[in-house]
Structure 1
């Protein structure tokens, strides 16, 4: 059978993304004016998002060393589930799953807190709080599901073996459901301020720049 190995990509990409996360966090803190209570809350939530993101990136690098990116038939069984040495690619993946959920949802919550600081419209603020609740519910539900996806827990990284000594939820359905709801919430959060910006009484060039600024997240 052919042997393919893309572990180098699995190392380079997380390192670049982690560096960008640190750069973004540093620029954000450097540009901060004296803290208000809302800004402090936003910074705390954003800090949690950055730490979770960097943790996922670091785990991805470790996973690459344990075989992520290579064909499974080229990897030692102990590196897959860690029966012999304790640490394994699937164990790392198991740890990264809830951290990824935390990273994506706390990022959205931080953006919504930012919206609450700059948009005074009552209906918009109610919408922000509702979407925050949905993000928190998404984080709680899918974070818990990722931790309890198999019974017993260690079956999460041993399910691929021939002997069946546990059971798991349908992880494909769970992953698609998590992704669909996460992307939907992403789009909602990004689109929310655009109608308000479009109605601002300002010169068209300034309005276009404001709309473009708030649309960067679509990239």
Structure 2
């Protein structure tokens, strides 16, 4: 029997928790129609309910937050040690570098933003147009990417080949960019055959950018000629 006394109201937790609790209440009332009247409550929290998404508060240590997300997504807790992919910290000091090819505002750390803009300008002077696809990406955004892929039927093993788990993407650091060229499908190996890639291969090192995911890279990711990141040693991070 479900006891109404186990339900607490209202606004004791943040908005996100309210949404999660509302979904839990909807599921609960389907099984127990007599509790339907409780849906009118603005915000609820079901204590000890397995129906709620397990979520670690934002103020929890970063490692614990990432570990909780990995558990939710079905990614082994030992992923980091098994793969050798380092945990990547979320950047907090970010600067807009303008819109990407989709019109979304993109951000990088101030140091890397300056390097990217200088590199883009240098390429343009030589008739090469480097187009931005993606830059900073939060842990939460990366989780959403994973959730969409899982919902589409992809396995964890399949996704790990093409997308770093939340907490392990270089994009979290604000020092990584994905690039493309006019007429080239974004995020495909076709970028390797463009003048833009040839220019990057010859000149990106001048601006302290490198391509970490070459063919046969040690992390097991697919070849990503579009992904470039500012060297950590240069930034002192």
What is the TM-score when the length of structure 1 is the normalising length? Answer: 0.27
Say which structure is richer in strand: 2
Structure with more contact order per residue of length (Cα contacts < 8 Å, sep ≥ 6): 1
Higher Cα radius of gyration: 2
What is the TM-score when the length of structure 2 is the normalising length? Answer: 0.26
